[in-house]
Amino acid sequence: SQELEQSPQSLIVQEGKNLTINCTSSKTLYGLYWYKQKYGEGLIFLMMLQKGGEEKSHEKITAKLDEKKQQSSLHITASQPSHAGIYLCGADKPEGDAGGTSYGKLTFGQGTILTVHP
Partner 1 sequence: DAGVIQSPRHEVTEMGQEVTLRCKPISGHNSLFWYRQTMMRGLELLIYFNNNVPIDDSGMPEDRFSAKMPNASFSTLKIQPSEPRDSAVYFCASSLARRKGGYQPQHFGDGTRLSIL
User: Of residues 7, 10, 57, 102, which one binds partner 1 by CB under 8 A?
Assistant: 102
| Per CB under 8 A, 113 contacts partner 1 | no
In angstroms, what is the minimal distance from the CB of 118 to partner 1? 26
User: Of residues 45, 57, 80, 117, which one binds partner 1 by CB under 8 A?
Assistant: 45
Q: How far apart are CA 19 and CA 12, in angstroms?
A: 10
User: Of residues 13, 31, 71, 73, which one binds partner 1 by CB under 8 A?
Assistant: 31
> What is the secondary structure of 40-81 as a DSSP string?
TS-EEEEEEE-STT-EEEETTEEEEE-TTSSEEEEEESS--G
**Dihedral angle at the C-alpha atoms of 50, 55, 56, 60, nearest 10 degrees?**
140
Contact 6, 36 (CB under 8 A): no
In angstroms, what is the minimal distance from the CB of 67 to partner 1? 19
Indicate the pairing of strand 10-14 with strand 4-7. unpaired
| Per CB under 8 A, 110 contacts partner 1 | yes
In angstroms, what is the minimal distance from the CB of 10 to partner 1? 13
Candidate segments 19-27, 32-40, 68-76, 77-85, binder of partner 1 by CB under 8 A: 32-40
